[in-house]
Amino acid sequence: MIPELGQVALILALSLALVQATLPIAGAALQRADWMALARPTAIGQFVFVGLAFGVLATAFLGDDFSVLYVAMHSNSALPSLYKFTAVWGGHEGSLLLWLMILATWTMLVAVASRSLPEELAARVLGVLGIVSVGLLLFTLLTSNPFERLFPAAFDGNDLNPLLQDPAMAIHPPILYTGYVGFAVPFAFAVAALLSSRLNKDWARWTRPWAISAWMFLTVGIALGSWWAYYELGWGGWWFWDPVENASFMPWLAGTALLHSLAVTERRGIFKSWTILLAIMAFSLSLLGTFLTRSGVLISVHSFASDPARGLFILALISTISGGALVLYALRAGRMGAEGGFRLVSRESFLLLNNILLVVAVAAVLFGTLYPLFLDALDLGKISVGPPYFNTVFLIPTLPLVLFMGAGMHATWKSMSGETLARKLVIPAGVAVLLGVLVPWIIFRGASVLTMVGVSLGFWVIGAALLEPVQRMLASNHAATVLSRAQWGMTLAHLGVGIFILGATITSSYNIETDRSVRPGDRWEVGGYEFVFRGTRDFDGVNYSAVEGEFEVRRNGSLVTIMTPEKRIYRVQRSPMTEAAIDAGWSRDLFVALGEPLGDGAWSVRVQVKPLIRFIWLGALIMAFGGLLAATDPRYRRRKVAHEARVGAGASPESV
Amino acid sequence: MTPRRQRMLLIGLVIAGVGVSAGLALRAFQENLLFFFSPSQVVAGEAPDNRTFRLGGMVVEESLQREPGSLTLNFVITDYVNSLPVRYTGVLPDLFGEGQGVVVRGRLVSDGGFLAEEVLAKHDENYMSPEVADALARAAEAGAK
């Protein structure tokens, strides 16, 4: 009986969403305050009912209710409780419910936080969010009902995919989805602006914290996914240009462009239609990501569904939502006049370049991701596009992007003499190039041109980000107050980019990877470390049995660590899983994975030494922390403020 | 420079940049396209001799042979009509096994076999890559005629 309650709750949520999607928008057009007033209660009601449905499904999982088909497919009574809960989003239906849950949460937050907004704008924003919600609720109820019964009930469940039985997998999807779905809010603001044909600096100020928050979650989500792939997929890579990764990376790139464009719109009242277009793009790419991962068009661990009806439904949904927004954009965008101009050397130009280069990067990744699908759909042959393509085309826009990034941080709004800018940056640029050449040669005894370029760019961004705060701190004795919170946010986010670049460059250039066959007692050397294989032992885990290898690692004779990689067989699905052993460190990771037994006690093993790989995820986390600071800047919390026009030539360069 | 000329310069630079990068991107794209072929297509001479491609099919039962003490192994991939010997050196993925679907990336070598640089066998034991399933179906169809 209880699972049916979940379905009823979803149907009730759908009826509320229908009201939320229609009356408030109509009310804003017809000036009916009573219709507009429906937006908030319906949004909050929807949150309650979707939450109820989610709770019901989670209860079914925790209570091992194998009369529910979805539970029987993705859980097992022997599964640890934590994974019973995370199994809620371990399959197609449940992950859609998670999507809905997160959309309802964002919508509820907008409803609560929008009291300081003009009533019409709030009604339109919530109305648009209602439209998105109607689409996804219909999708869930019509094609992917998680509460469908299994008759007769299964005696026990099919178990959760062993790859997903992992703590990072527990939090990766919710955080990633929070980012994905969060771009629905700037999207709704953009469509609301198009509906009213009004877009001013206040609009940008209201939209910005939402966009930054969504971006922040997406950043953490992608980093977690990369980290998980690194240690759980077993082979030590951190980014594979897998279509599923691209699906989350494209909205991130578009979202990053959106943040920078919004900064210009808030400060200067220009780039308006561009900002709107980017907001539409970021959310459309999020929907496309949902389509790619959820429709089964891709061959990947992420695509649980292979029902063509679902794919068609999502495709229709994307066309309706994105297509509708784009039509509206074509009709209305021309009405948004710019409120000022700018010169060639100015912060606006640099941000424009940032936007163009990011969009080029999106286009390159999109092309490589979708082209094989198109060929396949047209029956023109089966191809795939290898990582070298992505590595090359991604560097083309991002190398200049990073180069201009350092300069853009120090350019002033409106106009600036190129000479002043050059004088300010010549020392950091020189230092960066010097370090970029020296560091790889001194530490790693050699470097390719691309490595030196990468390391130089990393130091360049770090130096450019820290230049202003360091100079100011030296001039003042109150370190924390020299920059506003948003400025600290920008500084940290850019610092994170620099750290990421250093990590990615050094890891890719100096990663040592060896496969070999070893017997107990064998000693061999990899990247300055001596590895000793001491043999294997068998043991039993909660729901798997395993072979564990023991490896002693020494450097210059002294013991560094003992590493114990495992090979597990999960009892229900009988699938083998490699659990790599990783000795993490700031300067390097040691990575050991067991291959398979070769007979006579010999095993194939993979050993890797990966310098600076932690910087990749550290950089991403610092970026996200910068986002957190920027999103919580006090100026976004101000109540209804009189229209301010304090922006102008006199604004200080680093205010964002 | 007048603002108008500055803007023209900016636009010109952007167009030139986009042109150059589109050219480079297309080149990278052409060089990194990986086609997929089944053993029957390879036997029919459809696969290229001098570039990397992907080959897919089933691993023939009891065809797996390891060179003692080394990481090099040989196995045969079949679509149940034609087969092709494959040689690979390295650690195998978790779900590789005889009688299971597999996709390998590599190139043809002079003795008519296939030298794999990478072996892909993801997913659970019931899963078959759509490409492999498709290749098997086509080969069966062609064989029945």
pLDDT at residue number B15: 86
Q: How many domains does chain B have?
A: 2
A475, burial (CB in 10 Å: exposed 0-12, middle 13-18, buried 19+):
exposed
Amino acid at A169: M
For helices A184-196 and A201-232, the axis angle rounded to 10 degrees is: 160
pLDDT at residue number B67: 80
B62 CA: distance to closest CA in chain A (Å): 16
Closest-CA residue of B relative to A375 is B35
Same domain, B42 and B83: yes
A382 vs B35: CB contact, 8 Å cut-off?
A: yes
Distances (CA, A) of A78 to A11, A116, A194: 33, 50, 53
3-state secondary structure of A273: helix
According to DSSP, the β-strands at A602-611 and A588-599 are antiparallel
Among A343, A393, A605, the residue with its CB nearest the CB of B28 is A393
Which of A251, A266, A190, A166 has the alpha carbon at shortest distance from A217? A251
Same domain, B52 and B2: no
Same domain, B28 and B42: no
The CATH number of residue B85's host domain is 2.40.50.140
Distances (CA, A) of A596 to A583, B126, B128: 21, 21, 22
Same domain, B42 and B104: yes
Distances (CA, A) of A133 to A50, A94, A325: 11, 16, 15
Distance CA A185, CA A189 (A): 6
pLDDT at residue number A159: 84
* Chain B residues lying within 8 Å of A343, measured CB to CB: 3, 6
* Chain A residues lying within 8 Å of B130, measured CB to CB: 299
* Chain A residues lying within 8 Å of B70, measured CB to CB: 517
The model carries a pTM of 0.91
Same domain, B15 and B56: no
Distance CA A308, CA A29 (A): 38
* Chain B residues lying within 8 Å of A367, measured CB to CB: 25, 29
DSSP state of A297: -
Same domain, B48 and B115: yes
- Number of Cβ within 10 Å of residue A397's Cβ equals 23
pLDDT at residue number A234: 64
Full 3-state SS string of B51-117:
CCEEEEEEECCCCCEECCCCCEEEEEEECCCCEEEEEEECCCCCCCCCCCEEEEEEEECCCCCEEEE
B6 vs A599: CB contact, 8 Å cut-off?
A: no
DSSP state of B139: H
Among B9, B34, B91, the residue with its CB nearest the CB of A383 is B34
Phi, psi (degrees; rounded to nearest 5) at A271: 60, 30
Residue A487 near residue A654 (C-beta atoms within 8 A): yes
Distance CA A20, CA A13 (A): 10
Per residue in A97-106, pLDDT (tens digit) is 999 999 999 9
- Which residue range is the domain that position B23 belongs to? 1-33
Same domain, B21 and B52: no
Query: Is A356's Cβ below 8 Å from some Cβ in B?
Result: yes
Same domain, B20 and B73: no
Same domain, B50 and B72: yes
Same domain, B6 and B73: no
pLDDT at residue number A308: 65
pLDDT band at B3; cut points 50, 70, 90: confident
Instruction: Provide the terminal-to-terminal Cα distance of chain A, rounded to the nearest Å.
Output: 54
Amino acid at A648: G
* Dihedral-angle region of residue A380 (phi above 0 means left; psi in -120 to 50 means alpha; beta otherwise): alpha
Same domain, B60 and B86: yes
* Chain B residues lying within 8 Å of A575, measured CB to CB: 94-95, 124-125
Counted across chains A and B, CB pairs separated by less than 8 A come out at 108
A344 vs B7: CB contact, 8 Å cut-off?
A: yes
Same domain, B63 and B10: no
Per residue in B11-34, pLDDT (tens digit) is 888 788 878 878 888 888 888 888
For helices A614-631 and A485-510, the axis angle rounded to 10 degrees is: 170
Query: Is A573's Cβ below 8 Å from some Cβ in B?
Result: yes
Write out residues in chain A with pLDDT < 50, as ranges. Answer: 299-305, 640-656
A392 vs B24: CB contact, 8 Å cut-off?
A: yes
Residue A371 near residue A232 (C-beta atoms within 8 A): no
Residue A98 near residue A54 (C-beta atoms within 8 A): yes
B78 CA: distance to closest CA in chain A (Å): 18
